[in-house]
Amino acid sequence: MFKREIWRNFDFWLLGAVLFLSIFGVIMIRSAIAGNVNLAGIDQRQAEFLIAGVPLIFIITLIDYRFWKSFSIILYAFTVLFLIFILAVGNTSFGAQRWLNIGLVVVQPAEIAKIVVILVLADYFDKTDKDEKNIKWMLKSLAIVGGVVVFILLQPNLSTSILVIVLWFSMVWISGLPVKYIFIFGASALGLFASAFPFLQAYQQQRVLNFLFPDPTATHGNIYNVQQAIISIGSGGLFGQGYGHGSQVQLRFLQVRQTDYIFSALANEFGFVGTMIVILLLIFVIIRCIRAARLASDVYGSMIAYGFATLIFFQTIVNIGVNLNVIPVTGLTLPFISYGGSSLVSLLIGIGLIESVIVRRKMFEE
């Protein structure tokens, strides 16, 4: 009876959209790496992560989402220790120490941190739902996030650090942060970034400077990548040049096309129509997450759903923004589409948590 009630309330529309995007991501990665010996096989690895991640959606759905409240402190402590551990023994790539090779797979602990931050903050805002929404209340939640962000920054991983801060701000705002504090926080954030700029890694500073003062004659680096991304998008036209036939993709003018610039590869091969379908599906997923938040029977479930809606939304607009050259280059991937096993699995776990919230709404009401 219990299981029948679960599947009756299960959001199959959300699952269908996520599966379509994830499968299309594998297909798009396959085209993006065609002929590249160094990247051969990563499309198969992405498919393997997808196959492993889909059952997790159903397993996590069966677990009452409130079960995780009891482990908030343990999850938080494990995440911090994991991030510290990665600084000591992690693999270094592109000047950052973010990955841990555990044999068959390479794990990125920052992806786990995103999930844990959402769960821990959801627990905090649930417990303090009736408390006065003042500076002290806000700073306590910020301290929780700060304990994770500091170790992500040390990798260094500025983009994920910003994402975690955005998650915190969106959740604290939804929890009832007074408007006056929003302006204070905004001014403080701008001041903090300006003062912290000299302490950023050289490549991070260069990304900002390249965005503000681009060199149109550049033949390599971030400026070149952005230029090729824009050319790829423009040359795709309305319907694209066809799967596996995109000139910018197949002739490898477009760099990092399986991760950061997969949106441009998509535009090159499927055109404006193809990109709009993907964007609309991502918007649909975000809307279903927000719907889950509104249907949730308690603050904890609502905050979990809002948190993941924010995560998907922010990563989507930032990745597309980078491809369109409207914001500086970051390392955030396009949800469900870009290559990255840890990223894909963490997103699928998030979908499982949202489904767990959805299927239990009527049980509590009845």
**In the chain, pLDDT over 70 holds for what percent of residues?**
86
Number of domains comprising the chain: 1
Q: Is the pLDDT of residue 94 over 60?
A: no
Q: Residue 88's pLDDT band (boundaries 50, 70, 90)?
A: confident
Length of the chain: 366
Q: Are 355 and 57 in contact, with CB atoms under 8 Å apart?
A: yes
Domain that holds residue 90: 2-365
Q: Residue 366's pLDDT band (boundaries 50, 70, 90)?
A: very low
Q: Residue 364's pLDDT band (boundaries 50, 70, 90)?
A: very low
| For range 88-98, the mean pLDDT | 56
Q: Are 304 and 119 in contact, with CB atoms under 8 Å apart?
A: yes
Q: What is the pLDDT of residue 207?
A: 72
Comparing CA positions, the residue from 138, 220, 126 lying closest to residue 172 is 138
Exposure class string for 241-258: b at 16+ Cβ within 10 A, else e: beeeebebbbeebbbbbb
Write out the E strands in the chain.
Answer: 91-93, 96-101, 106-107
**Number of neighbours of residue 312 by Cβ within 10 angstroms:** 21
